[in-house]
Amino acid sequence: MFMGEYQHSVDAKGRLTVPAKFREALGETFVVTRGLDNCLFGYPMNEWRKLEEKLKDLPMTKKDTRAFARFFFSGATEVEIDKQGRINIPATLIQHAHLVKECVVLGVSNRIEIWAKDAWEAYFSESEQSFNEIAENMIGFDF
């Protein structure tokens, strides 16, 4: 399980240090793809395979399903953690998440998320104000 919030920087070559606490669970290679809310999602290979199976079972006759699968899979790339604990993020994904320099890497249960620091701070600030309302809406999920 991934949890926590870590500040890191992406360099001019697109390299980002993966928090040490996440490296073992992610494995030597893992998948990074476009995430929701203009961030990136990172999945260990076993979680990626589970997600892939779920998405394959969705009806491709539905326009929204096709659109989501295209968005999600076309941005996916397998990354490898180097000896310094960094990954190389492709330019298309850097553009999607607006990663310039300062980043935030979050642990979110079965995945990590990579955010531009300013985008994360804005999202968090906005969501924090409605956290109680969000929690109330989750009552039906046995939370």
Q: How confident is the model at residue 141 (pLDDT cuts 50, 70, 90)?
A: low
Encode 87-97: b = buried (16+ Cβ within 10 Å), e = exposed. bbbeeebbebb
In terms of residue numbers, what domain contains 18? 2-141
Secondary structure E strands in the chain: 2-9, 15-17, 29-34, 40-44, 77-80, 86-88, 102-109, 111-116
Please state the domain count of the chain. Answer: 1
Write out pLDDT tens, residues 46-86. Answer: 999 999 999 989 898 999 999 999 999 999 999 999 999 99
Structure tokens at 113: 């998320």
pLDDT at 135 over 90: no
Q: Is 85 left (phi over 0), alpha (psi -120 to 50) or beta?
A: left
CATH number at residue 40: 3.40.1550.20
How far is 19 from 37, CA to CA, in rounded Å?
A: 21
